[in-house]
Amino acid sequence: MAKMKTVSVSAYAKVNFTLDILGREGGYHLLDSLVSTVSLFDSVTATARTDGKTTVSFTGVGAEGIPPRNNALRAAEAFSDVFSDAFSMAGADITIDSKIPVGAGLGSSSADAAGVLRALAALYGISDTVRLKAIADSLGSDTGYLLTGGWARMTGRGEQIAPIADMPVLSLLLLIPSAGVSTPQCFAAFDRRAETFSPLTEKAIGCLRREGTKGAHAFGNALTRAAEELNPEVAVLLSEAAKLSEYGFGMTGAGSACYAVFASQEECLWARKRYQGTATALCVSTGTVQ
């Protein structure tokens, strides 16, 4: 039974600073990515029920466009199946106040799914991290990572997570266009383009450790050209980000959000005031832990 009546957690967005594609296996692309959660989050609240039913509802950014069968609901159903002794005869009402834009490469649906798992685990006193990670991995490539967040290196299809300590805090100006990019379509466009892209993740980790914020010059994303093909606004945002930051810039995930790197929040806020484009501009910082 529930240990508490209501639990609220913050489900943080993520930014990929590198995204190398190393091949394919079992229908999935093999990735190597330097990633960090950032201080933009959805709020997930789970309230215990006593009738075995579970509901998921959304408010906030993009709530009206989220389909009835969504990752948050799948997470709740999977949790119920795996931890049936503790959960199935109780249930929960889950509300998600969304601030992470959908289709921007910031991990919105994966963050929500991970947040649901964390909230339900706290609500029902579940501490089995191995089974929680297995559920998360079944829901999407980023979901297992977003159970914990922080700086990490993601490999495989994104399910293999190696936390990275002693990384600098980066301030980022996120530039988020009105139109997103479909992740499956972006990977398909990457395959179709058949371009070569030298792996950057190992180099980027070393540069950040040695040079701090200046190491951001080593960032890069193999999906950038494919995302620009699908959404030309990505190229515009990358050009604008390059003009704003002397440290580095790039695109996260499969797009469409781009970022410019700064050494402090003061610098980031200054750049946001200077920005004259049409994208939504948000200042965030790295290293947040779920």
Closest by CA to 290, choosing from 12, 6, 8, is 12
Active site residues: 14, 142
Secondary structure, 3-state, the chain: CCCCCEEEEEEEEEEECEEEEEEEECCEEEEEEEEEEEEEEEEEEEEECCCCEEEEEEEECCHHHCCCCCHHHHHHHHHHHHCHHHHCCCEEEEEEEECCCCCCCCCHHHHHHHHHHHHHHHHCCCCCHHHHHHHHHHHCCCHHHHCCECCEEEEECCCEEEECCCCCCCEEEEEECCCCCCHHHHHHHHHHHCCCCCCCHHHHHHHHHHHHHHHHHHCEECCHHHHHHHCCHHHHHHHHHHHHCCCCEEECCCCCCEEEEECCHHHHHHHHHHCCCCCEEEEEEECCEC
